[in-house]
Structure 1
């Protein structure tokens, strides 16, 4: 069994986009630096969406311009071709696109049908291939939609197959509103791994019903080795009623490391990043491990 895992911290984008307060570019860079200092090698640093729709993400071009060069993997969310063009102009080398497994979610998010959104995604994939830019395709509401109810797993499998064939570098299955249970996750991810192998797949879980970690575990058991999570469990979705925070990075790392997996992340430094996220946002951490980890790590160090 492959014991290496990759964690992408989405806190600086997914975590901040729904907070009541707006962080400055300098504060966002401070948070990104703290997450990177903990050994997180992949970070979603912002998005090129309309600042009118998501004011917290204004200035992502300045964030990208100020990030240190090196081996870290930075990605940004884009909603459409205009967002792609802005990301490319800002120097992004990786973009994340959202695909839709429900018609209502597509309409609410980008005012398109699934077919229209898929056509737009295909055009962006073609441009990205020509530009040498990585594309991560995230299938939203892959288990349930707040408007349309339960999602047909066949829709997710068809979408994953199509966009991998069109050139997406990775497909991420997202439980956008935290409605999935481990049995559903194990079933869908096992089918996807059997069809495509684990290398081009990832998962993104929210902790709305306190099943985020259980769902990570189920996906790991199916062979998934890439996961999104958010420092301090920050998160939500302005277009998905009921979506609470993402599963906390510190919770995911604690569980996986104690199971014998290697994330390459330093828990002490990660907790310092979580403290900073709490300080900057004024939001209590949504994760569960932090209160236990701090005294445990202090005792181990002593």
Structure 2
């Protein structure tokens, strides 16, 4: 087996980890969580999402969180699911954005109330504007392995979205096991084929741990040549539009796994453990 010397970890806890929490986490506590994450050595954090507060109440303070992230000099991403969100992000000087489209038609319609075709069309204009403004663009592809509404997702369904993202100049693409049902076999096969078909594209693995397979899937992704991962401090998270989906893969466990295999992350495990305890405290 072949393992890299180092992996890149993007911490998604402040956005993807907290978005599903029913009780609003006070803004000052979110700021403290972000500040503690920075002190662990995490180099990049997804901190907020520009969505309507009625859809995701937890993200109602996005502008204030962005201002705080900028004050730290932080390398951070924000989620901008539509044109209005992009306009809001540009207005406050965001430098990195993320957009998402589901590989599952049903999930995409339930999540953002649009067909995949309509979502991709809007993405074209968003990517054009973002690039004109010099922004870094991440594309999320959700439900890349299976879907709670449609069952198994084919490679062709995933490639439809990936191809569009690549054609319109995204800087990286995060491949999501949104409902946490993937297995190492399909993870290895899917990432291997994606890297063969899009050799110049940077892919990130984004696993949820619903079935307890996320860490096995991480090894499979490593074997397929993936060296960048999304994770959430303390395993916080879940998708509000994916019934039964539980938390993201835990940054703590991911870092521990990498370190035990001699793979560097640049993250301090002890500081991360303390931050994880704080993250769970603020959602109780």
- Structure 1-normalised TM-score? 0.90
Q: Distance in 2 between matches of 1:19 and 1:246?
A: 13
1:11 match? 13
1:150 match? 152
Counterpart selection for 1:203 from 202, 205, 225: 205
1:107 match? 109
1:167 match? 169
Counterpart selection for 1:87 from 78, 86, 89: 89
The size of the alignment, in residue pairs, is 282
> After TM superposition, which residue ranges in structure 1, 4 or more long, deviate above 3 angstroms?
68-72
Once the two structures are TM-superposed, the CA of residue 25 in structure 1 deviates from its matched residue by 1.4
2:278 match? 276
1:229 match? 231
Q: Distance in 2 between matches of 1:78 and 1:186?
A: 29
Q: Retained in 2: the 8 A contact 1:142–1:176?
A: yes
Q: Retained in 2: the 8 A contact 1:4–1:263?
A: yes
Q: Retained in 1: the 8 A contact 2:16–2:238?
A: yes
Note closer, same or farther for the CA distance 1:9–1:54 as it changes in structure 2 (3 Å cut).
same
What secondary structure sits across from 2:175 in the alignment? strand
Structure 1 residue ranges without an equivalent (≥5): 283-302
Which one is further off, 73-82 or 155-164?
155-164
RMSD: 1.3
1:293 match? none
- Structure 2-normalised TM-score? 0.96
Structure 2 residue ranges without an equivalent (≥5): none
Q: Retained in 1: the 8 A contact 2:120–2:164?
A: no
2:264 match? 262
Q: Distance in 1 between matches of 2:74 and 2:264?
A: 17
1:62 and 2:64 are equivalent in the alignment: yes
1:217 and 2:226 are equivalent in the alignment: no
Q: Retained in 2: the 8 A contact 1:6–1:42?
A: no
Once the two structures are TM-superposed, the CA of residue 195 in structure 1 deviates from its matched residue by 2.5
Q: Distance in 1 between matches of 2:231 and 2:14?
A: 11
